[in-house]
Chains A and B, each alone.
Chain A
Amino acid sequence: MKKKKIGQAVGVILVIAMVCVFWQLIDYLPVIGDPKSAPNSHVSKMYIVDGPSMTHSPNLVTGVLADFRGFDTLWETTVMFLAGMAVSMILSDKLKRHWDASIFGEIRTFGGADVKAMIPLIVPFILLYAVYVLFHGEVSLGGGFQAGALIALGYILYAMVAGLTIKTVKVTQHLSICLAALGVFIYALTGILPMFNGGKFLDYGRLPFGAEATAELHTTGILMIEVGVTVCVAATIVTILEAVLERKSLHDGNQ
């Protein structure tokens, strides 16, 4: 008991020490909203003024994420895929392999009006909204990450309520982790394709899709990587869900 109290006291002291250290460091940062500080005077101005015309996307967030910092987003997507793979590896259990997607034990479905009439009324709209958010990522809010999470939400809704005994597509964790890898592959493919045409990696201006205007090529490149990100995110979320639902109990052995 004494060790626990000492541990808690050390934790509190450490937190207070870190807060004091960071309090001193605040003096070195520029004041928020100061128009003369370095980021506000030339860096932001260049991005805000020239950004939409250089990336040909009115939504500056998507432009920065997918065009100026496209290489960053590639590794973000890879990290998501690795997280899904890690969860799938840790939680796999070779002995008990009965697959039961319903978390309510023996009773598989709820039954009733909810499953037969209401949920099939809602899920198509969720998926349609996901596709809308994906395709309009350059113009308004959205992009790949939100669309992928929405698609996974539609799947989770069915898995929570119906137990997947209704005739839908049953996705095991092995299939969905392969789909996540496919998403990352689509992203990397969009990066390699310009290199066949004389450009650098992820250089959307030189995609080999006919000699069209630069604006259309940039938009096509952003759309392709958003599709890759969507597939990866949706598949990762479904993988983690299936991996956790497959285990009836997460206690190892001693229970």
Chain B
Amino acid sequence: MLIREIIAAILLITGGSFMFVSALGVIRLPDFYTRLHASSIGETFGLVLAGIGMIIYHGLNLTSAKILLIIVALFLVNPIGTHLIGKAAIRAGEEPWKYIKNEEKKEEEDASIHD
């Protein structure tokens, strides 16, 4: 195994783990805006890392030039899409999530039951 292949493998695995973590965040986070933030940032960066890994694997080639163009295009387009989705959510009236501590929540529930 050459050094080039080892570095490419490390970069690919790192990119993949970034994407996995962002996908996990999309499932587990509580609100729309936090989920949007998790999906956009993690995935874009994971894609760039995986793309650089593929460039290193192929060496200086026409294939690498094409992969570089794809990475640049996606790096520009993903934040635009995220920005537009966020703006659309504000226009539609989606409100951010408020964090209620556990004791306050119990007090609220007790008050509503006694009423």
A and B touch in the complex (CB under 8 A): yes
Whether B114 sits at the interface, judged by CB under 8 Å, is no
8 A-B residue pairs with CB within 8 Å: A104-B88, A104-B91, A107-B91, A114-B80, A114-B83, A122-B76, A122-B80, A161-B84
A119 to B77, CA, bound (A): 9
A114 to B91, CA, bound (A): 15
CB of A179 to closest CB in B, whole Å: 28
CB of A161 to closest CB in B, whole Å: 7
Residues of A within 8 A of B (CB): 104, 107, 110, 112, 114, 118-119, 121-122, 125, 161
Whether B87 sits at the interface, judged by CB under 8 Å, is yes
A110 touches B80 (CB 8 A): no
Residues of B within 8 A of A (CB): 73, 76-77, 80, 83-84, 87-88, 91
Instruction: Tell me if A's interface is mostly helix, strand, loop or mixed.
Output: helix
CB of A225 to closest CB in B, whole Å: 29
- How many interface contacts (CB-CB < 8 Å) are there between A and B? 18
A118 to B78, CA, bound (A): 12
- Contact among A107, A114, A121, A125 with B84 in the assembled complex (CB-CB below 8 Å): A114
- Contact among B73, B77, B87 with A110 in the assembled complex (CB-CB below 8 Å): B87
A118 touches B87 (CB 8 A): no
A107 to B91, CA, bound (A): 9
CB-nearest residue of chain A to B92: A104
CB of B15 to closest CB in A, whole Å: 24
A112 to B73, CA, bound (A): 21
A104 to B80, CA, bound (A): 19
Q: Which residues of B contact A114 (CB under 8 A)?
A: 80, 83-84, 87
Q: Which residues of B contact A107 (CB under 8 A)?
A: 91
B91 touches A118 (CB 8 A): no
Interface centre among B76, B80, B88, B91 (most CB of A within 10 A): B80
